[in-house]
Amino acid sequence: MRFQIAQTIFELFPQLQIAIAVFSDIDNSEAHPEITAFLHQQEKALKILDPPSAHPKIAAWREAYRTFGAKPSDYHSSVEALAKRVAKGDPLPVINPLVDSYNAISLKYLVPVGGEDLDKIEGDILLTRATGDEEFIALGEMENRSPKVGEVVYKDDRGVICRRFNWREADRTKFTAQTKNALVVMECLPPTSGEEIEAAINELAELVQKCCSGTYKTAILNKTNLLFEL
C-alpha cells in the first residue's frame, strides 16, 4: 500500500508539506488519562485571535480553500473548526486515543490533522483533485455526497476518504476502538515551518506509541518527495 501526492496538488500549493505517521499493531480500545489530560491542556493553553480565522496559520487554509473553489465561510478547515469550538469554551469530546492525540496536536501547533484506519483502505491512498464522480459518505452520515470537480481530496480505490483537503473525513475509514493499523496525516502550509511540522508529527507518534504500544514510522512529503510506502 502506498501514500502518494499527485503533482497537480503542488501546482496549486508548491510549498505544501505533508507529514505522516503510520502506526502498526496498536491498542486503541481504552481511554488513556495521559492523552485526555494532554488534550485538555491544549484546550486551556490555546491562545488565538478573535476571530480564529484571523490567525495567520488558519488564514492560510482559508486561502487554500479559495484556491480550489471552496468558500471558507461555508467550509472550515479541520484546524479552524477545532479552534473555533475551543475559543467558544466548548470542550472537545473524548473519542479514542488516536483521535484525542491528533486533536491535541492540531491545537498545539495549529495545523490540520486527520487519520484513516489502514485496514479499511482499499488499494493505495492518493491526495489529488477530484473527478467529481467518486463516492463519499461523511463521518456519521449514510448518504453519498460526491466531491465537486477539481476539489482537493484524499481517496483510495473505492472512493474519497477526506473531502476539501481536510474539511470532512469519511465514515468508512474512521478510527474506532478496534483500529490496529492507522495512518495519521498532518498538512503544512506557510507560515507553519518544516521544523514545526517535524516536531509535531514526532510528538504525536511518540505519544501514541507510549500509550497504545505498537510501532510507528514517520515521513514528510513535499514536491520533490511524492510517495511513501505504507
Average pLDDT, the chain: 96
Q: How many CA atoms lie within 13 A of 27 on its CB side?
A: 7
Its pTM stands at 0.95
What is the C-alpha end-to-end distance of the chain, expressed in Å?
A: 5
Task: For residue 228, give the 3-state DSSP assignment.
Answer: strand
Question: Would you give the DSSP letter of residue 92?
Answer: P
Number of H helices, E strands in the chain: 6, 10
At residue 40, the pLDDT reads 95
Q: Which pLDDT band holds residue 149 (cuts at 50, 70, 90)?
A: very high
Q: Which pLDDT band holds residue 32 (cuts at 50, 70, 90)?
A: very high
Residues in the chain: 230
For 174-193, the pLDDT digits (tens) are 999 999 999 999 999 999 99
Cβ atoms of 28 and 178 closer than 8 Å:
yes
Q: Which of 204, 209, 157, 207 is nearest to 20 (CA)?
A: 204
Question: Would you give the DSSP letter of residue 146?
Answer: P
Res. 128: pLDDT tops 90: yes
Question: Before 191, cis peptide (omega within 30)?
Answer: yes
Q: Which pLDDT band holds residue 50 (cuts at 50, 70, 90)?
A: confident
State the Cα–Cα distance between residues 31 and 37, nearest whole angstrom.
11
At residue 105, the pLDDT reads 98
At residue 145, the pLDDT reads 95
Res. 218: pLDDT tops 80: yes
For 65-86, the pLDDT digits (tens) are 999 999 999 999 999 999 999 9
At residue 21, the pLDDT reads 98
State the Cα–Cα distance between residues 77 and 164, nearest whole angstrom.
8
Q: What is the mean pLDDT of residues 143-164?
A: 97
Distance of CA 197 to the CA centre of its chain: 13
Res. 49: pLDDT tops 80: no
Show the cell assigned to 44: 486551556
In the sheet with 160-163, reading across from the earlier edge strand, the strands are: 168-169, 160-163, 152-155, 125-129, 2-5, 227-229
In the chain the domains, ranked by start, together with CATH numbers, are 2-229 (3.50.40.10)
State the Cα–Cα distance between residues 144 and 141, nearest whole angstrom.
8
* Percentage above 70 pLDDT, the chain: 100
Task: For residue 75, give the 3-state DSSP assignment.
Answer: coil
